[in-house]
Structure 1
């Protein structure tokens, strides 16, 4: 019986079209640069994986936050996002 493989790399396909995905990637860079909580998330992820994986994870986290903000019509709360 074959060992089951993990499926990786599917999360960022949900960041919308290529322009929206690019915008979230740019937002991830600015978040990493200017937000201490985002920098902590990025550093933790980049210590276990490559820098590009860490950027993609942070961008996807921001994309999910944007979706729920628009869906629920609530204000952004960084403590919820990076907790």
Structure 2
């Protein structure tokens, strides 16, 4: 089982994939392009338990919405 964490910024994101032992399987800075993020996550999609997005930039909700439609569970954590 794998998990993904995305640190979402205004024009790029750091996307990480970790396994059940908290080992970083993959990590990459990507532009905020849903197709590129989904392509990066594709090799782990079948075993992906969930995706967590950390963001303070509200205009990128399209990316979070797209991730939830991809079949992976999606949660957003927005610090106040």
Higher helix share: 1
**CA radius of gyration, larger in:** 1
Higher strand share: 2
TM-score band, normalised by the shorter chain? under 0.3
